[in-house]
């Protein structure tokens, strides 16, 4: 595997071969630890390519703080929703605000869900419900981030300051918090030696179990630490628990001798190991954000003023302090470092809508964590989006099941072309396997086309052929042509070029 990892730095086909096999954290960490920073960047970015992983880059936004007025807090949520940024719900702050407004925390969560439609990511959540902390924790200026490394333990003894009696009072509301969320974050840093920073692993496992019972996505927050042993511990623990998304925290918690190299290598490691193929950071200085994005980072958690995520990403020691409005800064950093592809960087509401339509067309039972061939269909987004009002709002004209029904009625002919070789094409191929004689795959990215053919041939018995990205050739050869994209501009362009095609939107 070590040789394959080295080859995957320069060769996308080797990256695909690596994606197809089982990998253990120790082997991956060992091999990538030997790479230079630039080699790690190239490797991680290769693993951000569809259909190996996820090519989206996004922001998640902390809209809350314990001392925000309701009008400001709800306005923050509306603004995040308008730009298509997922809301990162710091549960302790929701509970603090609700208490000051004279309502229960879960009532405030309901209000947010009623006025927004983007995903809600729940954090700082314990076995009884929202964690609760005294004012010296909730109003901390960001001491550890201001001072910078080395981290020697929370100077305010954060996790041991929890107001557990208050937390237990909210136990009857606990499950509804999770039901209203899209995903839930757990913190694994206590397993890495930061017992004063995060809840014990036993509690994290309890929260993970609750998230799974409600079918929600699961994230794991972990420190970069020493860049080696600490990451092995975190990756092994996350995979044992069954986490989908890896969230890397640098800043004062990056204690490696080469901090930027360690951050780039950690992103590359996570890209290869994370089951849901989404790798985020909840805390990274500006230089770490930049090198992480170049190495394939998918998401940065930021925040509005007074939210602690407002300073944790994009700043530096001496400037990272409570009160910063990190969102505009992070958007600029992403635009500097990530080239636009099929989607904007960072993604906005349109991309979320297109992704939701793809999941709706495929059918929830066909996407992550379901596999076709060697790997999952889609990433953790595909499992999380169905839990949003946005998913319920978007409309599609047909589903894959509708197309299968047409095939069974003999309406598609014997030869079907699929234009676009992304994840949705995998589901179409699977559903048409027993209904047609031949499936032709075409994608303007010939490598994506090749990988899709390899993946489907490992799973399906139908004849499969490619056309090296020649949509016209596929269209003219086939009896019926299906457009697998759900991006409106792409579908409209292809529909103008080729008449009588079938699309989902």
Q: What is the mean pLDDT of residues 149-166?
A: 81
Q: Which CATH number fits domain 2-343: 2.60.40.4070, 3.20.20.70, 3.40.50.920, 1.10.10.60?
A: 3.20.20.70
Which pLDDT belongs to residue 341?
80
Query: What are the tens digits of pLDDT across the range 284-297?
Result: 999 999 999 999 99
Q: From the CA atom positions of the chain, what is the Rg in Å?
A: 23
Q: What is the mean pLDDT of residues 212-226?
A: 97
Question: Any residues with CB less than 8 A from the CB of 498 and at least 6 apart, and which?
Answer: 419, 471, 472, 475, 481
Q: Which of 207, 228, 151, 209 is nearest to 199 (CA)?
A: 207
Burial 66-105 (b: 16+ CB within 10 A, else e): bebeeebbbebbeebbeebbbbbbbbbbbbbbbeeeeebb
Question: Mean pLDDT across the chain, nearest whole number?
Answer: 96
pLDDT band at 269 (very low <50, low <70, confident <90, very high): very high
pLDDT band at 53 (very low <50, low <70, confident <90, very high): low
Which pLDDT belongs to residue 340?
82
What percentage of the chain carries pLDDT values higher than 90? Answer: 93
Burial of 136 (0-12, 13-18, 19+ CB in 10 A): exposed
410 sits in the region (left: phi over 0; alpha: psi -120 to 50; else beta) called: left
DSSP H or E segment with residue 386? none
Residue 262 in tokens: 């360690």
Given CATH 3.40.50.150, say whether it is the number of domain 400-497.
no
Measured CA to CA, the distance from residue 280 to residue 277 in angstroms comes to 10
Residue 147 has pLDDT above 80, yes or no: yes
List residues bridging with 371 in a β-sheet: 376
Q: What is the mean pLDDT of residues 384-411?
A: 98
DSSP H or E segment with residue 463? strand 463-466
Residue spans of the domains in the chain: they are: 2-343, 350-393, 400-497
Collapsing DSSP to helix, strand or coil, 441 comes out as strand
Q: With contact defined as beta carbons under 8 Å apart, do 283 and 225 qualify?
A: no
Query: What are the tens digits of pLDDT across the range 293-347?
Result: 999 999 999 999 999 999 999 999 999 999 999 999 999 999 999 988 878 999 9
Query: What are the tens digits of pLDDT across the range 117-137?
Result: 999 999 999 999 999 999 999
Q: What is the mean pLDDT of residues 10-21?
A: 95
**Phi, psi at 110, each rounded to 5°:** -60, -40
pTM value is: 0.97
pLDDT band at 151 (very low <50, low <70, confident <90, very high): confident
Say which range, 52-61, 94-103, 149-158, has the weakest mean pLDDT: 149-158
10 Å Cβ neighbour count for 252?
23
Which pLDDT belongs to residue 157?
66
Q: Which of 106, 84, 88 is nearest to 97 (CA)?
A: 106
């Amino acid at each position: 595997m070590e040789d394959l990892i080295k080859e995957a730095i320069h060769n996308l086909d080797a990256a695909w071969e690596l994606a197809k096999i089982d990998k253990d954290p120790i082997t991956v960490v060992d091999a990538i630890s030997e790479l230079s920073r630039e080699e790690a960047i190239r490797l991680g970015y290769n693993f951000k390519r569809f259909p190996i992983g996820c090519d989206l880059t996004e922001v998640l936004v902390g809209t809350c703080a314990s001392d925000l007025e309701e009008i400001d807090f709800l306005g923050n949520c509306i603004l995040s929703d308008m730009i298509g940024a997922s809301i990162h719900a710091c549960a302790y702050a929701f509970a603090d605000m609700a208490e000051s407004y004279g309502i229960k925390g879960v009532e405030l969560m309901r209000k947010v869900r009623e006025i927004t439609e983007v995903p809600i990511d729940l954090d700082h959540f314990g076995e009884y419900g929202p964690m609760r902390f005294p004012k010296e924790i909730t109003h901390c200026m960001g001491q550890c981030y201001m001072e910078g490394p080395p981290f020697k333990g929370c100077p305010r003894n954060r996790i041991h300051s929890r107001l557990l009696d208050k937390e237990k009072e909210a136990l009857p509301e606990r499950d509804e918090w999770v039901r209203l969320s899209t995903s839930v974050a757990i913190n694994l840093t206590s397993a890495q030696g930061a017992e004063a920073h995060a809840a014990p692993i036993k509690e994290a496992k309890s929260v993970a179990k609750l998230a799974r019972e409600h079918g929600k996505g699961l994230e794991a927050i972990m420190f970069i630490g020493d860049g080696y042993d600490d990451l092995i511990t975190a990756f092994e623990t996350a995979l044992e628990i069954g986490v989908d998304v890896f969230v890397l925290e640098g800043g004062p918690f990056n204690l490696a001798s080469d901090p930027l190299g360690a951050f780039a290598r950690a992103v590359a490691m996570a890209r290869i190991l994370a089951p849901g193929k989404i790798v985020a950071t909840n805390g990274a200085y500006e230089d770490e954000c930049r090198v992480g994005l170049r190495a394939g980072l998918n998401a940065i958690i930021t925040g509005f003023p007074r939210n602690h995520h407002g300073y944790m990403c994009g700043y530096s020691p001496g400037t990272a302090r409570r009160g910063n409005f990190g969102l505009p800064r992070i958007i600029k950093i992403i635009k500097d470092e990530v080239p636009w592809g099929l989607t904007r960087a960072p993604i906005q509401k349109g991309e979320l809508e297109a992704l939701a339509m793809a999941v709706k067309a495929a059918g929830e039972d066909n996407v992550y964590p379901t596999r076709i061939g060697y790997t999952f269909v889609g990433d953790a987004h595909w499992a999380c989006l169905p839990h949003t009002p946005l998913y319920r709002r978007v409309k599609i004209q047909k589903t894959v099941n509708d197309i299968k029904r047409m095939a069974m009625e003999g309406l598609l002919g014997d030869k079907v072309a699929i234009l676009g070789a992304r994840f949705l094409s995998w589901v179409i191929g699977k559903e048409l396997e027993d209904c047609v004689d031949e499936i032709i795959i075409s994608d303007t990215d010939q490598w994506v086309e090749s990988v899709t053919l390899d993946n489907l041939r490992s799973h399906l018995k139908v004849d499969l052929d490619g056309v090296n990205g020649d949509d016209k050739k596929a269209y003219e050869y086939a009896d019926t042509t299906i457009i697998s994209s759900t991006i409106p501009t792409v579908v409209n362009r292809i529909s103008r070029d080729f008449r009588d095609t079938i699309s989902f939107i």
